Structure 1
Amino acid sequence: MDTSPSPSGTRGAGTRIVPRSPSPQRRRRRRRDALLFGALIAPNLIAIIVFSYYPAIYNIGLSFMEWDFVAPSPEFVGLENYQDLFTDPSFLQILMNTLIFTGVSVIGSLVGGLVLGSLLATKVPLTGFAQTMAFAPHMLPGAAVGLLWLFIFDPNYGLSRWAFSLFGADSPSWTTTSDWSLWAITLAYTWQRLGFVTVICYTAILDLPKDLYEAAALDGAHGWKLFRHMTLPLLSPITFFLSITGVISAAQAFDIISIMTSGGPGVSSSTLSWMVYEEAFKNFDIGTASAGATVLLVILLVITWVQVRYGDKKVNYS
């Protein structure tokens, strides 16, 4: 069939347009772009596989083994490690400690960070200094934070003794009694993370559109009403991000627990991350430690999925 254009510059009614194949230059350009893309992502991709996915998969494999670091090779025992873990009377308390520690620290730091970030955004005097002081706890290593709060919680010489004496009461033994040890490490960790959340919220509030606030002010929205119906919805992507990262970070907390209570007394302040350390490097029970780490991984995956599945619906990205 003749597909030449008609004299008027249009094709005939029965013509069929055959797509042109890419030119050799375009094909070479596409291959070059693909190779460049692969070269750019390869280092990060390899690092993620080697340092994240492979250890997680290897740990799951070890959870079905019995090993003490001394035997030449692990011995397969099936689900025995999980059976021992779930039948251990202290495991339920450790699991509850982990949930309480994570939930209170994430909610406390998020609420406190929103309040402090809003106050800093109002341009109070010495805002720069206040912002630096608010962020300072996040810059301190966990060991330093633990030592600082050990002094604060000292019932004989610490600031806790002075604070309770104002009300005519004695300071409790925060880190040496089972009633207070979990709350001691929770307060210390929440204080450390509070600075990071404050600076993130403060920066996000400064980036909010000012015209919306001016229009809301003209409609009579002020104070708590403005914060609840305007600021919080606009900050929902930030709070969504902070809640997910906060849960993951708190569930892996180790250094503050090590310095302040070492998981004691008993298991009153022990979390899953601390239990994994004790089973692996104190009891040399690698199988049980790996089983505990796998349980922690599953819990984090479930919590993150729930946050993404239901929390994302309430996030306002516009």
Structure 2
Amino acid sequence: MGKSKQLKENAAAWLFLLPSLIFLIMFTLYPMIKTLIMSFFQSDLSTADPVYIGSGNFKMMWEDEVFRKAFINNLWFAIGTVPTSVLIGMGLAMLVNRSIKGSGLARTFFFYPVVIPMVTAAFIWLFFYTPEYGMVNSLLKVFGAGEMNLLGNSTTALIAIMVMVIWKEAGFFMVFYLAALQNIPKELLEASYMDGASKWVQFRKIIFPLLMPTTLFSFIIATTNAFKTVDQLVVMTQGGPNNASNLLLYYIYESTFRFMDYGKAATATVVVLILMLVVASIQFFGADRKIHYS
């Protein structure tokens, strides 16, 4: 009777999971396998039917100067946005975690950029960066600085996109840190205060270690987001000037919809997936031993 009951419970569980499993296979596993297979074929406007070329796409793509530029840009983009947005999110959470007047309004204000659609946010910042009458140049004029075309300069275009993404994502990570902070036992902080620990010692010895699971989660999500950036590039720079703000996903977007080179787009997608898997694995397995889960 015991085994029969267990089998029935397992069968019921699998039946409940079946719809999600079907969607996972259809919209995640199958596209991944199809993309991997397509990366070994030449499939563009010059070929009527896909032609198997083995690793030829990978070799040609790595020899592509535009791909190398997008690859390097994406690494710098991740280095610039991931730790910054996560740390700012942590700081905002600690700021609004206090029981003071106006903290609820401050939370809403900091979280508001998250609920704005990415395309809308990109248009807002496009207006901010407008050379003649944008907010940034208006502020520069107030301080006596000259006019700057931030999105039209190859030196500042990627940095301008980074600032916009950090503004958009910091409030998202603030919510996770806020929840983690409110779950820290107050007895620990009160006991450390009675022992004479300063605020800095409390943060370094108690708060920060207990926030490490949230930090690891935030870093993985932020890294994934850093390699999924495309909407704001379409609106703000189209990867320019001279590919200075081109990123991997925009490179894939252009290869697919502009040049109709599906083999190259599939190859670039495989590279992005492998890169994200490697980075996430390093973050997870490298930080897991230093994390306190209780």
1:263/1:270 contact within 8 Å kept: yes
Shift of 1:68: 2.7
Shift of 1:33: 1.0
Tell me the alpha carbon deviations over residues 251-301 of structure 1, each in whole angstroms, 9 at most, x when there is no partner. Answer: 111111111111111210011111000011101111111111111111011
State how far apart, in whole Å, the 2-side matches of 1:262 and 1:30 are.
57
Gaps of 5+ in 1: 1-24
Shift of 1:142: 0.6
Equivalent residue number for residue 11 of structure 1: none
Q: Which amino acid aligns with 2:198?
A: H
- The SS at the match of 2:289 is helix
Number of residue pairs the alignment of both structures matches = 294
Equivalent residue number for residue 132 of structure 2: 156
| Aligned residue among 60, 67, 79 for 2:55 | 79
State how far apart, in whole Å, the 1-side matches of 2:51 and 2:131 are.
48
Shift of 1:70: 8.6
Highest RCO, 1 vs 2 (Cα 8 Å, sep ≥ 6): 2
Q: Which amino acid aligns with 2:68?
A: L
Equivalent residue number for residue 132 of structure 1: 108
- The SS at the match of 2:143 is coil
Equivalent residue number for residue 261 of structure 2: 285
Shift of 1:229: 2.0
Question: Does residue 167 of structure 1 match 2:157?
Answer: no
Shift of 1:147: 0.6
Identity of aligned residues (%): 31
Equivalent residue number for residue 266 of structure 1: 242
Q: Which amino acid aligns with 1:65?
A: F
State how far apart, in whole Å, the 2-side matches of 1:297 and 1:280 are.
17
Q: Which amino acid aligns with 2:250?
A: W
Shift of 1:56: 0.9
Equivalent residue number for residue 198 of structure 1: 174
State how far apart, in whole Å, the 2-side matches of 1:201 and 1:31 are.
41
| Superposition misfits of 4+ residues, deviation over 3 angstroms | 69-73
2:67/2:251 contact within 8 Å kept: no
2:73/2:244 contact within 8 Å kept: yes
- The SS at the match of 2:275 is helix
| Aligned residue among 5, 19, 32 for 2:8 | 32
TM-score, normalised with respect to structure 1:
0.89
1:117/1:199 contact within 8 Å kept: yes
Equivalent residue number for residue 109 of structure 1: 85
1:160/1:171 contact within 8 Å kept: no
Instruction: State which drifts further: 60-69 or 287-296.
Output: 60-69
Equivalent residue number for residue 185 of structure 1: 161
State how far apart, in whole Å, the 2-side matches of 1:201 and 1:55 are.
34
